[in-house]
């Protein structure tokens, strides 16, 4: 029996996922959905740079592969990333690829300073701001490695106090049926930011408090004046620490 035949049925599952992500049009669809928002097939066809008919086939494959979910509302169907784990995987692949891009798609992959500074990675914060928040939480002994197989971090008593101070109920977040506090490799900074339920709770609370705002037509976010005050008070972050890289 040939080597090729002997491996039939034992192909690693990540090879199937890699094949789905490896198509340039599908990769553009996934990148478009990295801000956690849902979009129609028409919007995603524009992002993919292919016809609506071709996009429909790509979307069906991504849904079947459990990388996307779809919901119907009226006459429209809305697609979004299946979960934060998919976003972390895409972010990691983007970090691995660096800033390289095929010439045909270069305009879709431009790395702007806004994205470097602050952006959403699905439902949590990424870029310099996301990395520095994670680093500050570790340095202040608010988070510690839990030693779990899932790679989650645990929240210390100091962390409970910090999060309660900005209105985050850590125990409620921990009860969610998802990863709690996981590192996610940041594609622009090449070091981890905080993902999982806790990362999502921090981002959500920053939006609720008016500390950050979404930039139009982008997953980049802007820090408001009130936001700089809050980030300085809670996480000891200042504007100058986010310019030109990590401090």
Query: Mind listing the pLDDT tens digit for each residue in 111-125?
Result: 578 888 999 988 999
Q: What is the pLDDT of residue 47?
A: 84
Compute the distance between CA of residue 223 and CA of residue 210 in angstroms, rounded to an integer.
9
For range 62-68, the mean pLDDT: 93
Question: What's the Cα-to-Cα distance from 217 to each of 2, 33, 116, rounded to whole Å?
Answer: 51, 12, 16
| 150: pLDDT strictly greater than 70 | no
| 198: pLDDT strictly greater than 80 | yes
The closest alpha carbon to 158, from 136, 132, 181, belongs to: 136
Query: Mind listing the pLDDT tens digit for each residue in 162-183?
Result: 999 999 999 999 998 788 999 9
Q: Which residue has the higher pLDDT, 88 or 131?
A: 131
| 11: pLDDT strictly greater than 80 | no
Could you give the angle at the alpha carbon of 179 between the alpha carbons of 173 and 183, nearest 5°?
110
pTM: 0.72
For range 216-221, the mean pLDDT: 86
Compute the distance between CA of residue 111 and CA of residue 99 in angstroms, rounded to an integer.
7
Q: Which of 12-16, 127-131, 148-152 has the highest mean pLDDT?
A: 127-131
Q: What is the pLDDT of residue 10?
A: 57
Looking at the chain, the whole-number percentage of residues with pLDDT higher than 70 is: 85
- Evaluate whether 141 touches 156 at the Cβ level (below 8 Å): yes
Q: Which residue has the higher pLDDT, 37 or 53?
A: 53
Q: What is the mean pLDDT of the chain?
A: 84
Query: Mind listing the pLDDT tens digit for each residue in 32-51?
Result: 898 888 889 999 998 888 99
| 101: pLDDT strictly greater than 50 | no
Compute the distance between CA of residue 155 and CA of residue 161 in angstroms, rounded to an integer.
10
Query: Does domain 10-82 match CATH 2.102.10.10?
Result: no
- Evaluate whether 214 touches 121 at the Cβ level (below 8 Å): no
Compute the distance between CA of residue 247 and CA of residue 26 in angstroms, rounded to an integer.
36
* Phi, psi angles (nearest 5°) of residue 201: -65, -40
- Evaluate whether 94 touches 121 at the Cβ level (below 8 Å): no
For range 202-225, the mean pLDDT: 93
Residue extents of the structural domains in the chain: 10-82, 113-242
Q: What is the pLDDT of residue 51?
A: 92
Residue 154 has which token pair? 């645990």
- Evaluate whether 181 touches 152 at the Cβ level (below 8 Å): yes
Half-sphere exposure of 58 (CA within 13 A, CB side): 26
- Evaluate whether 45 touches 83 at the Cβ level (below 8 Å): no
Q: Which residues contact 29 (CB under 8 A, 6 or more apart)?
A: 44, 47, 48, 55, 58, 59, 62, 79
Q: What is the pLDDT of residue 95?
A: 79
Q: What is the pLDDT of residue 12?
A: 65
Q: What is the pLDDT of residue 205?
A: 97
Q: What is the pLDDT of residue 110?
A: 40
| Residue whose token pair is 């520095």 | 132
Q: Which residue has the higher pLDDT, 14 or 194?
A: 194
Q: What is the pLDDT of residue 84?
A: 82
């Amino acid at each position: 029996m040939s080597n090729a035949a002997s491996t039939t049925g034992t192909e690693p599952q990540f090879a199937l996922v890699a094949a789905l992500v490896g198509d340039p049009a599908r990769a553009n669809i996934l990148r478009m959905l990295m801000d956690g928002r849902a979009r129609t097939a028409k919007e995603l066809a524009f992002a993919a740079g292919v016809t609506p008919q071709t996009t429909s086939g790509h979307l069906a494959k991504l849904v079947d592969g459990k990388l996307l979910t779809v919901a119907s509302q009226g006459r429209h169907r809305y697609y979004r990333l299946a979960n934060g784990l998919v976003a972390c995987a895409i972010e990691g692949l983007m970090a691995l690829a660096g800033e390289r891009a095929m010439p045909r798609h270069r305009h879709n992959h431009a790395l702007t300073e806004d994205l470097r500074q602050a952006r959403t990675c699905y439902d949590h914060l990424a870029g310099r701001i996301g990395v520095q928040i994670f680093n500050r939480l570790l340095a202040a002994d608010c988070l510690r490695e839990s030693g779990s197989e899932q790679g989650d971090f645990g929240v210390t008593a100091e962390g409970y106090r910090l999060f309660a101070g900005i209105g985050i109920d850590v125990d409620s977040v921990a009860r969610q049926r998802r990863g709690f506090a996981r590192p996610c490799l940041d594609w622009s900074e090449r070091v981890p930011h905080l993902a999982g339920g806790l990362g999502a709770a921090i981002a959500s609370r920053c939006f609720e408090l008016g500390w950050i705002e979404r930039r139009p037509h982008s997953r980049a976010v802007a820090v408001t004046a009130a936001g700089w005050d809050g980030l300085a008070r809670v996480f000891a972050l200042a504007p100058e620490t986010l310019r030109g890289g990590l401090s």
